[in-house]
Amino acid sequence: MLKNGNGSLTQMPRTMSEKIIKRRPKPILTKIVSNTPGRLRLRVAHSHRQKEEMQRLAKTLEANPSINDVRMNVHQGSITIQHNRDDESFQNVLATLYDLGIIFADITGGKSEAAAGVSDSIVDLNKRIHDATKGLIDLRIIMPIGLASLSIRQLLTKGLQLEIIPWYVLAWYAFDSFIKLHGNTSQPTSTSEQ
């Protein structure tokens, strides 16, 4: 509804309301990691950790006169905002975040912060191995090969005895992890740090 010249409400044209809805940003799930006077640190959900998206957020935040500095880490999904220490400045920063479509929520998806950190570390290790070998090897190959090697070693040193970790258990884990890790043939999307 819009007010016309005489103060009464009129129906907004359909095309104008559709344009407003189309311009509304897609929600970006974010968690406040720390909030101290003059500094706000956010963690963006995994689904929004693309370099272009994070740079767009940082560039828009830097244009805010209340914000002194914006730092981001694409891989960790971290955005640190240095702003003026007063409450008005903080409210201005929150308004800018809201305009960008940022919604504050628990983004760990049922995982604790520690579990999310371990998961992020494994993803980082996998990416480093993948990049170092130019895509030939990643953790989905190394884990089954490592377990298979341990099972062969156990078989050669202990024979067919049923001891603490029998060879066939390690062999089964090698086979099982290979099948599970290669069940999804889609490649993970890579993210890069700034």
97 within a domain of the structure (yes/no): yes
In a domain, 192, yes or no: no
Q: Is 114 within 8 Å of 122 (Cβ atoms)?
A: no
Give the C-alpha distances (Å, rounded to integers) separating 33 from 12, 104, 124, 172: 40, 11, 20, 41
Res 7: pLDDT: 53
Kindly state whether residues 87 and 159 are assigned to the same domain. no
User: Domain check: are 33 and 96 in the same one?
Assistant: yes
Instruction: Give the pTM.
Output: 0.45
Contact of 81 with 39, CB cutoff 8 Å: yes
- The pLDDT tens digits for 65-90 are 888 999 988 888 889 999 888 878 88
Q: Give residue 139's domain range.
A: 113-181
